Amino acid sequence: MTFMAVWEASIDGLEPAPERKMQRRAVLERTFDQLIEVIRAR
């Protein structure tokens, strides 16, 4: 299971505000996209 799949499966249990959930997902996705870019540049 990927990190994002685990996050998606568990985040609602923390009852975040919908906007906060969307913002946090965007940050996580951007972070993983940046990691992929770094790895590809090696």
Query: Tokens representing 23?
Result: 């913002």
Nearest CA to 26 among 18, 1, 13, 39? 18
- How much is the pLDDT for 1? 79
Nearest CA to 21 among 35, 8, 31? 8
Domain carrying residue 12: 3-41
Domain count, the chain: 1
- Give me the tens of pLDDT residue by residue for the chain, a chain 42 residues long: 799 999 999 999 999 999 999 999 999 999 999 999 999 999
Task: Classify the phi-psi angles of 2: left when phi > 0, otherwise alpha if psi is within -120 to 50, otherwise beta.
Answer: beta
Tokens 């998606």 — which residue?
A: 8
Supply the pTM of this predicted model. Answer: 0.82
- How much is the pLDDT for 26? 97
